[in-house]
Amino acid sequence: MADLELLVSELPKLIQSLKLTIGDSHEIMQQIIPIDNAHEQLKNIQKLIIQEVKFNNLQSSPFATLPQNGTVTSLFLPNIGLENPVIAAKIGNLETKLSLTDLQKKIDDWIEWGYFLQALAADLLSDVQLVNQLNYDSQHVSLPGRFKAIAEKLKINLIDNSKNWRHQLEKINNYQQELFELQQKLNYIFNTIKTSNSLLNILLGVSAFCGKSRFTLEWLDDDHELIISSDGKIQELTDILNDCDIFQEQITALIIQGETLREQAIKKIEQQSNKKLINHKALEILPKFWTQEIVGSAFILVSILLLLSFYIWQKQDQNSQLQSIITQEQRAIANFKSAQQLAMQAASLVQKPPHSLQVWQQAETKWYRAIYLLNSISAQTSVYHQAKNKLADYRINYNVISQRILTEKKAVTNFQSAEKLAREATFFGQNSPHSLIIRQQAKDKWKQAINLLEAIPENSSVSIQAKETLSIYKTNYTAIR
C-alpha cells in the first residue's frame, strides 16, 4: 500500500506530462519519451489499484479469514498542480480525496488519452508534407499577432498637411493588400478546421492560426471537445472558430477604414496639385509686367504689385471654392456609382441559393460597403436624394443577408460539430473496442451527432450532406448499442 500511496502522490505531475505541443518536428520528437514514461507509470498505478481493490473485496467477503487491518478504500491527491484549470479538469473536480474505484476510472481515461497522444505524434511525424507545413507555421507570426500589427499601422494621422501624401497613399494601399491576404488566410483556417474530416488537417488549421506561438493539446473536456492552450490562453476548438468569426468582422471593418483613409489621402493630393497649378499661373503673369519699359517709378511698381496680389488672391479663392464644389460633386457621383455596382454584385452573388457561408459573408460585406458609400454623399450634391432612396433598400437587404448568415453559421456549426463527434466516436471505437467506458462514450457521441444533424434547416448549404450523413450515423449508433 505504501508503494501505491507514493505513486499516487505523483499523479498531478504525471497527468501534467500527458500533453503534446504541436510545433516543429524536433519539438514533437522530444515530447514522445516524457509522454511514454508518464503513460507507463499510470499503467503501473492502475495495476496496483486493481490489486488493492481485489484485496479489499476479499477482506470484505463473508468467507475472509484475514484481519482487515491496513485496507484502504480511498486516497488523497496532493494539491500540486490543481490550481491549473487543465489539471483540475483532468482530475475532474477540486476535491483531492478519491475512492479507489473512482481513481481507477480516471486513470483509465488518462491512459486512453496517453494512447491518443502517442498515436497522434506517430501520425504527425510520418507525414513529411504535414511536418514541413508545421515547421513553416512555427516560423511565422500568429494570425492574432499579424492582425494587431496591421491595425497599428493603420493608425495614421491625416491632419498634418506637411506629410508626403503620395507616400502615405502608397502605404495605405500596402496595408489594404496585407488585410486582403490576412482575410484569405483566415478563410483557409476557418474552412480547414470546420470542414476537414481528418484530425491532422484540423491541426494544420490551428497551426496556421497560432504560428510561432504554437499550441498544446491538453485534454478532452466533459463533452470530449479538445482543450488547446496557446500563449497562456486555454480554449476549445470551437473557441478558435469563434475567434475567426470575430477577426473576420474586424478585418472587414479595417478594410473599410482603409478605404476612408485612402480617399482622404487622394483628396489631400488633389488639393496640393491645385495649389501648385495656381502658383505656376501667377509666375507666368509676373514677367509681362516686369518686361515693360514704361515702369519708371516706385509708385507704379507698388500699385502693380498690389493689384497683382489682389488678383491672385481673388483667383485662388474662386478656384479653391469651385474646385471644392467640383470635387465634392465628382466624389458623390463616383460613390453613388460604386455603391450601385456593389449592390448588383451582392445581389448576383446570392442568386439561386443555397450558398456557402463564405458567399453570404461576401454579399454582406458588399452591402455594408455600399451603405457606407451612400452615407458619405453630401446633401449639397445632385445625387443626394437618389442615394437617400437607395439607402433604405440597401439596409433592408443587408439585414436580410445578416440574418441568413446567422442561420447558415448555425447549420454549418451543427454539421461540422457532428462530423467531429463522429470522428472521435470512430477513433475511440477503433483504439479501445473492448472498453465499456469508451464504448459508452462513443455511443453518446453518435447520439449527439445525430441530434445536431436533425436540427439543420432544409435551406442551408449543408442540408443535403446532412441528410446523407444522418442515415450513416444512425446505422453506426444502432450497431454500437
What is the per-residue pLDDT across 280-314, written as a single tens digit (0 to 9) for each? 555 554 455 444 444 455 555 556 666 666 556 66
Say yes or no: 254 and 156 in one domain.
yes
- Out of 71, 96, 126, a domain closes at 126
> In the predicted model, what is the mean pLDDT of residues 347-362?
87
Say yes or no: 88 and 154 in one domain.
no
pLDDT attached to residue 310: 59
If pLDDT is split at 50, 70 and 90, which confidence band does 60 have?
low
Q: In whole angstroms, give the CA distance from residue 285 to residue 220.
A: 83
Interacting residues of 31 by C-beta distance below 8 A, sequence separation 6+: 20, 21, 121
Is 373:339 a contact under the CB 8 Å cutoff?
yes
For residue 219, the SS3 value is strand
For residue 344, is it within any domain?
no
Structure confidence by residue, pLDDT tens digits, 101-129: 778 888 888 888 888 888 888 888 888 88
> In the predicted model, what is the mean pLDDT of residues 169-178?
81
If pLDDT is split at 50, 70 and 90, which confidence band does 69 have?
very low
Q: In whole angstroms, give the CA distance from residue 115 to residue 258.
A: 50
For residue 76, is it within any domain?
yes
Is 52:1 a contact under the CB 8 Å cutoff?
yes
Higher pLDDT pick, 90 / 261: 261
If pLDDT is split at 50, 70 and 90, which confidence band does 94 have?
very low
Say yes or no: 96 and 190 in one domain.
no
Say yes or no: 14 and 117 in one domain.
yes
DSSP letter at 105 equals: H
Q: In whole angstroms, give the CA distance from residue 247 to residue 253.
A: 10
For residue 194, is it within any domain?
yes
Say yes or no: 144 and 265 in one domain.
yes
> In the predicted model, what is the mean pLDDT of residues 449-471?
91
- Out of 126, 147, 180, a domain closes at 126
Say yes or no: 107 and 154 in one domain.
no
If pLDDT is split at 50, 70 and 90, which confidence band does 71 have?
very low
Torsion of the alpha carbons at 244, 247, 248 and 249, rounded to the nearest 10: 130
Say yes or no: 261 and 152 in one domain.
yes
For residue 438, is it within any domain?
yes
Say yes or no: 66 and 155 in one domain.
no
Say yes or no: 16 and 119 in one domain.
yes
Of the listed ranges 114-128, 253-267, 414-428, the one predicted with least confidence? 253-267
Q: Is the pLDDT of residue 191 over 70?
A: yes
For residue 41, is it within any domain?
yes
For residue 442, is it within any domain?
yes
If pLDDT is split at 50, 70 and 90, which confidence band does 449 have?
very high
Q: In whole angstroms, give the CA distance from residue 106 to residue 4.
A: 15
Cis ω on the peptide bond leading into residue 12 (within 30° of 0)?
A: no
Say yes or no: 77 and 157 in one domain.
no
- Out of 241, 261, 276, a domain closes at 276
> In the predicted model, what is the mean pLDDT of residues 199-228?
85
Interacting residues of 107 by C-beta distance below 8 A, sequence separation 6+: 42, 45, 46, 49
DSSP letter at 378 equals: -
Give the chain's radius of gyration (CA, Å).
35
Closest CA to 182 of 233, 148, 219: 148
Per the structure, the count of domains in the chain is 3
Of the listed ranges 124-138, 251-265, 356-370, the one predicted with least confidence? 251-265
Say yes or no: 149 and 268 in one domain.
yes
The range of the structural domain enclosing residue 464 comes to 412-480
If pLDDT is split at 50, 70 and 90, which confidence band does 59 have?
low
For residue 326, is it within any domain?
no
If pLDDT is split at 50, 70 and 90, which confidence band does 62 have?
very low
For residue 86, is it within any domain?
yes
Amino acid type, 379:
A
**Residue 97's beta-bridge partner residues?**
76
Exposure string of 151-176, with b = 16+ CB inside 10 Å and e = fewer, is: beebeeeeeeeeeebeebbebbeebb
Say yes or no: 143 and 272 in one domain.
yes
